[in-house]
Structure 1
């Protein structure tokens, strides 16, 4: 699976848990989604569940702190490093 497909899947998912009317494509990939108020702690858990099921990422075997999943770029980097 290529990076663009990963981005599309991730953005589609994020749009379902977004706490804003702001279109996801208008957000810079480096923007902290937490600081911008676009996601909350429950959304972080939903993101982890999505990454585990969609990309087979095992968070128990990675050194990832869930709070590091606060931007689209950070999540895409995690997918690139750990996706099965």
Structure 2
């Protein structure tokens, strides 16, 4: 999948879990999703589940730094990294 296709899939998911009073369009790709108010801290768990189901991540085995899930840009970079 291309970066743009991954971005579209991620943005569609974020749109489904965002807080109703904050719009996805108002948050830059490098902006912290929680600090911006787009999602709350519990939504990060939903992002983990989404990445496991859609992209085959195994976070239990990977031991990924939660900071890598802070922004659209950092999540896309994680998706693009080669995995064993």
- Do both share a fold (TM > 0.5)? yes
| Cα pair distance change 1:83/1:20, threshold 3 Å | farther
Q: Which runs of 5+ in 2 are unaligned?
A: none
TM-score under structure 2 length normalisation: 0.86
Which position in structure 1 is the counterpart of 2:12?
12
Deviating above 4 A after TM superposition, structure 1's stretches of 4 or more consecutive aligned residues are none
In structure 1, the gaps of 5 or more residues are: none
Measure how far apart 1:27 and its partner are: 2.0
2:76 matches 1:76? yes
TM-score by length of 1: 0.86
Q: CA RMSD in A?
A: 1.9
